Amino acid sequence: MKDYLQKLANREDLTFTEMNEVANLFFSESTTDSEIAAVLMGLQLKGETPEEIAGLVEVLRQNALPFQKNIQEVMDNCGTGGDGSQSFNISSTSAFVIAGAGVKIAKHGNRSVSSKTGSADVLEELGVSLDFSMEEVNQLLDGNGIAFLFAPHVHPKLKQIMKVRQELRIPTIFNLIGPLTNPVKLQSQLLGIYQREKLVLMAKALRQLGRKRAIVVNGAGHLDEASLAGENYLVLLNKGKIKEFTIKPEDVGLNRYSLDAIKGGNARQNAEILLRVLKGEKGPYYETVLLNAGLALFAHGKATSVKKGVQLAEVSIESGLALEKLNHLIRYSDKRKNGVVHQ
């Protein structure tokens, strides 16, 4: 570890292989909390590279619960958090809409980070289990087209690193990589980030990790989701090529709303908002979900444009397919609790 710490102290970038080796040392009993903290600080001070991000993510995925089956064309939609907007659970609500439109989605999430309520909090409130085994995730992706992976459950070896992060109390590389550490092999992804200057960085990291298609978005108002408040900044990764573009709500037939219009609340309140959207209640929550789900469907390649993605998202909600994806997860979770489903 000493040689790598010296490189970081000199503000030198680590290669993908070197970051792999450092990340593996994170899981060694001989590595101290101080060494882990020094690496995180060194990366943060000089600025992380795509190779360093991908090198760390690869090791974290290798140390997650094993997911053996290679299900084709699975995606995830997740933000890094940290935008402080206190918005409702946009990506969680959108995930069911994406699945209702026919795209398999392995939703990776956690409890609250920057919002009042994280994806795990709201889904738990709705009755969805947080401890699905990877075998059950397989079953749900096959049979329902959507499964939820609770980050602490699928990354059980990260406790020591999380302890160091909490003690540092400043943003580190781990504040960037949450959406990248999904143990399911993803072909496409919609990734939100509140730091606009890191859009291309994250797109390059996704390319290094083998995504065929992806969109990285920074929303109007610097949200880690697409926003109806104005111009959204995006980067499209498609077959190794990176293209920057912007999109406004009116470009895809949606209305403008202020950020205050999409504020959320506690887990119960956000669960109610999610249900109202999936039941088709129109307004800023509904249109925000259409925009984000539409972007995800375009990121996947299911839709040939964002506008067509928005149209597919609306059909998913209005047909009841999106709501049925949620109800299936709730029924499955209920059966698990009653011992009907093998765990």
- Please report the beta strands in the chain, taking only residues with DSSP state E, as ranges in sequence order: 74-79, 104-109, 146-150, 188-192, 213-218, 232-238, 241-247
Asked whether residue 115 is marked as a ligand-binding residue, the answer is: yes
Asked whether residue 113 is marked as a ligand-binding residue, the answer is: yes
Asked whether residue 283 is marked as a ligand-binding residue, the answer is: no
End-to-end distance of the chain based on CA atoms, in angstroms?
40
Asked whether residue 90 is marked as a ligand-binding residue, the answer is: yes
Which residue is associated with the tokens 């949450």? 178
CB-CB contact of 96 with 89 (8 Å): no
Q: DSSP letter for 103, please.
A: -
Asked whether residue 110 is marked as a ligand-binding residue, the answer is: yes
Asked whether residue 129 is marked as a ligand-binding residue, the answer is: no
Asked whether residue 127 is marked as a ligand-binding residue, the answer is: no
Asked whether residue 111 is marked as a ligand-binding residue, the answer is: yes
Asked whether residue 82 is marked as a ligand-binding residue, the answer is: yes
Asked whether residue 28 is marked as a ligand-binding residue, the answer is: no
Asked whether residue 224 is marked as a ligand-binding residue, the answer is: yes
Which residue is associated with the tokens 């040689």? 3
Asked whether residue 89 is marked as a ligand-binding residue, the answer is: yes
CA distance 157 to 65: 9
Asked whether residue 108 is marked as a ligand-binding residue, the answer is: yes
* Long-range pairs, 45-51, Cβ under 8 A, ≥24: 45/11, 46/8, 46/11, 46/12, 46/13, 48/173, 48/176, 48/201, 49/13, 49/14, 49/201, 50/201, 50/204, 50/205, 50/207, 50/208, 51/13, 51/14, 51/15, 51/16, 51/19, 51/208
Asked whether residue 73 is marked as a ligand-binding residue, the answer is: no
CA distance 69 to 138: 7
Which residues fall in the annotated binding site for 5-phospho-alpha-D-ribose 1-diphosphate? 79, 82-83, 87, 89-92, 107-115, 119
Which residues fall in the annotated binding site for Mg(2+)? 91, 224-225
Which residues fall in the annotated binding site for anthranilate? 79, 110, 165
Which residues fall in the annotated binding site? 79, 82-83, 87, 89-92, 107-115, 119, 165, 224-225
